[in-house]
């Protein structure tokens, strides 16, 4: 779940460099470099390590091979290379893909990135035809293509996980549909609500996240290949062919923009950050609810850890970590915005810095969504404690005021009467429900025998039947709408 980078890579011959433990080094020499022609010296080993991206971009190998296959087919269809060469290229690429899938491919840091690792392996395996693959293409449009393909795929994966968490929420809401808890403002008990209503608030937030990722998908669904290094190509390529082959909805209309655009990654990180902020807010609540002070929920033993020193501890590490990891994802957004902000057109190597943050953000988001769904599924609701928190407080004071409003007292006066009654109770150490009708009548002649019923938690909740309110009727409508939404999302 953490990463889709399954590929094993040997570590034996790797030069010493700070954070690379899984890419082998070959001796550096002009001949093995795909751009070595104009150079007299070979690249300094440390410089090469510094600028290589293979450690992290190798996770885009499927997309790189998919993109190259489409490109080769297009070159042949346009008569730029022969059908025979294209067939050799496609078969060779397929073999490389299988090798990498099986963890049998040795990546080389000298070859810098996934693009040149694949191309070199192809040439090694099929000979001269391999050298024709990069015709009418630059790594600048190639990396853009790979990243578009990768993000497009990952966005759908994230959306699937969002829908799973939403399902867990709707299930929990349905299972606990009669549980009443205090709703809070300022973290002070405010009005009684259904727990289901609270859970469904997160459903709605996740729904917006889902839709935001649709936007990210749309912006990733534009085909950059054919931009060349920056200005297009002199060769008669067919960009529409490639777009069709790779199922892109649109094609970048400006080659400079195609190779420099990182908006879709910024949008991805923004959508990921907002999603994480939602999960973080929920985490904070779950952490509070698990505390002895609230005791509203208990997390499954399988989802918690203990303390090495304090034998009694059962810690909500998972929501804590989700809350903690949110900072990292926001950091990646800030980092990429900062990287891009003063970049001149078109490609600059700074743009290589887009990947690590994006990859880490998507791993973090996927992992967080998956564990969160488990937390919700396994969370035990302590309904009696929630109920007590409603009853042993004054969250029904608004209902008291509304009772008088319904008897035609202006709301401001009703508020005043209810406030005085609360004060009266606090002084005596009792709650509104404990007062007698005589007590009530001391504050207003409008009170009748039905007042006790009017301030019961069930009555308070049921009465909030305005559209989107917390009444069982409104919540049932939310649940059924949520189920329909989830069904539609599954079709995406």
Q: Which residues are catalytic?
A: 186, 307
List residues bridging with 298 in a β-sheet.
380
Instruction: List the interface residues with ligand ARG, window 170-199 (CB under 6 A).
Output: none
Site for ligand ARG contains 113 (CB under 6 A) = yes
How far is CA 104 from its chain centroid? 31
Shortest CB 196 distance to ligand ARG, Å: 47
Shortest CB 362 distance to ligand ARG, Å: 16
Number of residues that bind ligand ARG (CB under 6 A): 10
Nearer to ligand ARG, 206 or 227 (CB): 227
Distance CA 333, CA 342 (A): 16
Stretch that binds ligand ARG, among 70-78, 248-256, 344-352, 438-446 (CB under 6 A): 344-352
Query: What kind and span of H or E run contains 343?
Result: none
* Phi, psi of 183, rounded to the nearest 5 degrees: -90, 150
List residues bridging with 191 in a β-sheet.
183
List residues bridging with 53 in a β-sheet.
none
353 DSSP 8-state letter: G
Shortest CB 266 distance to ligand ARG, Å: 16
- Cβ contacts of residue 321 below 8 Å, gap of 6+? none
Site for ligand ARG contains 140 (CB under 6 A) = yes
Shortest CB 351 distance to ligand ARG, Å: 5
- Token duo for residue 306: 């203990």
Distance CA 287, CA 323 (A): 10
Give the one residue of 58, 71, 139, 239 binding ligand ARG; rule: CB under 6 A: 139
CB 112 within 8 A of CB 15: no
CB 290 within 8 A of CB 305: no
How far is CA 26 from its chain centroid? 38
Shortest CB 241 distance to ligand ARG, Å: 23
Give the one residue of 117, 159, 176, 352 binding ligand ARG; rule: CB under 6 A: 352
Nearer to ligand ARG, 107 or 203 (CB): 107
Shortest CB 458 distance to ligand ARG, Å: 60
CB 76 within 8 A of CB 85: yes
Nearer to ligand ARG, 55 or 267 (CB): 55
Site for ligand ARG contains 154 (CB under 6 A) = no
List residues bridging with 245 in a β-sheet.
none
- Token duo for residue 413: 């006066």
Stretch that binds ligand ARG, among 244-252, 284-292, 296-304, 348-356 (CB under 6 A): 348-356
List residues bridging with 305 in a β-sheet.
315
Instruction: List the interface residues with ligand ARG, window 44-73 (CB under 6 A).
Output: 53, 57
Stretch that binds ligand ARG, among 62-70, 138-146, 370-378, 466-474 (CB under 6 A): 138-146
Q: How many residues does the chain have?
A: 492
Site for ligand ARG contains 339 (CB under 6 A) = no
Smallest CA-to-CA distance from 136 within 241, 54, 31 is with 241
- Token duo for residue 84: 């025979």
Distance CA 314, CA 186 (A): 27
Nearer to ligand ARG, 351 or 404 (CB): 351
Nearer to ligand ARG, 60 or 381 (CB): 60
CB 450 within 8 A of CB 444: no
List residues bridging with 185 in a β-sheet.
188
Shortest CB 51 distance to ligand ARG, Å: 8
Distance CA 39, CA 408 (A): 90
Nearer to ligand ARG, 35 or 411 (CB): 35
Q: How many CB atoms lie within 10 A of CB 93?
A: 25
Distance CA 115, CA 134 (A): 10
Nearer to ligand ARG, 352 or 396 (CB): 352
Nearer to ligand ARG, 202 or 347 (CB): 347
Stretch that binds ligand ARG, among 124-132, 263-271, 314-322, 343-351 (CB under 6 A): 343-351
Site for ligand ARG contains 366 (CB under 6 A) = no
Stretch that binds ligand ARG, among 72-80, 297-305, 347-355, 458-466 (CB under 6 A): 347-355
Give the one residue of 143, 216, 237, 475 binding ligand ARG; rule: CB under 6 A: 143
Question: Where do contacts with ligand ARG occur on this chain (CB under 6 A)?
Answer: 53, 57, 113, 139-140, 143, 347, 349, 351-352
């Amino acid at each position: 779940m953490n990463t889709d980078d399954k590929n094993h890579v040997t570590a034996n011959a790797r030069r010493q460099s700070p954070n690379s433990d899984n890419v082998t080094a070959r001796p550096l020499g002009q001949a093995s470099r795909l751009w070595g022609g104009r150079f007299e010296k070979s690249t300094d080993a440390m410089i090469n390590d510094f600028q290589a991206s293979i450690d992290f971009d190798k996770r885009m190998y499927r997309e790189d091979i998919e993109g190259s296959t489409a490109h080769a087919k297009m070159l042949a269809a346009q008569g730029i290379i022969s059908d025979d060469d294209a067939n050799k290229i496609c078969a060779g690429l397929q073999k490389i893909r299988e090798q990498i899938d099986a963890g049998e491919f040795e990546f080389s840091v000298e070859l810098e990135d996934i693009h040149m690792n694949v191309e070199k392996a192809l040439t090694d395996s099929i000979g001269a035809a391999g050298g024709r693959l990069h015709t009418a293409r630059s790594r600048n449009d190639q990396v853009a293509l790979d990243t578009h393909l990768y993000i497009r795929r990952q966005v759908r994966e994230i959306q699937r996980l969002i829908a799973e968490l939403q399902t867990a929420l709707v299930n929990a809401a349905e299972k606990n549909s009669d549980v009443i808890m205090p709703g809070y403002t300022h973290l002070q008990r405010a009005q009684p609500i259904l727990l289901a209503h609270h859970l469904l608030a997160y459903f709605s937030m996740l729904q917006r996240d889902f839709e935001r990722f649709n936007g990210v998908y749309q912006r990733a669904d534009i085909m950059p290949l054919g931009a060349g290094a920056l200005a297009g190509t002199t060769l008669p390529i067919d960009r529409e062919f490639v777009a069709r082959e790779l199922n892109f909805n649109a094609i970048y209309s400006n080659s400079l923009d195609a190779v420099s655009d990182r908006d879709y990654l910024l949008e991805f990180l923004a959508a990921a950050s907002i999603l994480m902020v939602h999960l973080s807010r929920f985490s904070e609540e779950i952490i509070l609810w698990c505390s002895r002070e609230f005791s509203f929920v208990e997390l499954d033993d399988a989802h918690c850890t203990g303390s090495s020193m304090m034998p009694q501890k059962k810690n909500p590490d998972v929501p804590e970590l989700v809350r903690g990891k949110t900072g990292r994802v926001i950091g990646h957004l800030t980092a990429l915005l900062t990287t891009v902000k003063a970049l001149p057109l078109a490609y600059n190597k700074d743009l290589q810095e887009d990947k690590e943050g994006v990859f880490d953000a998507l791993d973090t988001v996927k992992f967080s969504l998956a564990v969160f769904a488990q937390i919700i599924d396994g969370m035990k609701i302590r309904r009696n404690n929630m109920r007590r928190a409603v009853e042993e407080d004054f969250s029904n004071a608004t209902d008291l005021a509304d009772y008088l409003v319904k008897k035609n007292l202006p709301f401001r006066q009703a508020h005043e009467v209810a406030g005085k009654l609360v004060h009266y109770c606090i002084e005596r150490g009792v709650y509104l429900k404990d007062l007698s009708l005589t007590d009530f009548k001391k504050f207003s002649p409008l009170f009748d025998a039905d007042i006790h019923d009017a301030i019961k938690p069930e009555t308070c909740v049921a009465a909030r039947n305005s559209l989107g309110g917390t009444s069982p009727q409104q919540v049932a409508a939310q649940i059924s709408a949520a189920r329909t939404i989830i069904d539609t999302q599954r079709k995406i």
